[in-house]
Structure 1
């Protein structure tokens, strides 16, 4: 299997995981289930921390020659929005009970993240055009991010150079 195929499969699996977690979170807010919402928000933060990190530290810079600074800036701004949304989702899910207004807000915030998940997944067809050494480096940075295992909100608040 070519290294770009390994990347594409890995990248797609990560996006599927996040997509499924977001759908589960919508279900939890729909059911006013604070316990499930708390667990799912935590799972999203755990899954997206290393993912956002390797995208921003290794993959996105390599996509600038393809897309230009403006579009890559939009991808990073999408991360900013997802981070802000996740912070608010933590607060909403942290209540003992979720009322109707909180449920509606939780669903809205979660749906705002979904387009980035689907849009970002398509970047793999651009990554496959990169030199093999670049793809290997992206995968190596991914492995390092996974080893450090810093959740999204911790990474965004203490490691990430850009503040959301």
Structure 2
């Protein structure tokens, strides 16, 4: 297995995990189950913190020569939106009870994140065109992000230089 294949497999598995968590979150809001929603929001934040971090710190800068700064800016703006949505989802999930309009808001916020998950997954075919040393560096940055293990909102509020 090449290093690019390793990256693609890892990247795709991370996106599948987040996709499945987001589907679970929709189900929790559909069932008006704040206990489950709280648990899933926490799992989403745990999974996306390191993922967003290595994308922004290592992968996205390497994609500028391929896509241009404007598209990479869109990817960053998608992260900004996902972080804002995650904050609001955490607030909703922290409520003791939610009513139907609040649940619908939670579902809407969650669905707004889903397109980035599917769109971002396709970036792996561009990463495979990068020099092997770049892919190795992206994976090393991923390892460091996993080692630091900051959830999405902690990372966004402390380490991330871009504010959302």
Question: Which residue is equivalent to 1:91?
Answer: 91
Query: What's the offset of the Cα at 1:36?
Result: 0.2
Task: Supply the distance in 2 between the matched residues of 1:158 and 1:96 (Cα, whole angstroms).
Answer: 28
Q: Normalising to structure 1: TM-score of the pair? A: 1.00
Alignment of 1:43-62 (within 5 A): 43-62=43-62
Gaps of 5+ in 1: none
Q: What is the aligned partner in structure 1 of residue 67 from structure 2?
A: 67
Displacement of 1:98: 1.4
Partners of 2:95 and 2:152 in 1: CA distance: 21
Aligned pair count?
164
Q: Where do residues 127-146 of structure 1 align in structure 2 (5 Å cutoff)?
A: 127-146=127-146
2:81 matched residue in structure 1: 81
5+ long unaligned stretches in structure 2: none
Q: What do you get for the CA RMSD once the two structures are aligned? A: 0.3
How big is each residue's C-alpha offset from its partner over 1:115-139, in whole Å with a ceiling of 9 and x where there is no partner? 0000000000000000000000000
Structure 1: distance between partners of 2:44 and 2:10: 17
Give, in whole Å, the separation in 2 of the partners of 1:25 and 1:126: 30
| Stretches (4+) displaced over 6 A | none
The 2-side partners of 1:90 and 1:2 are apart by 39
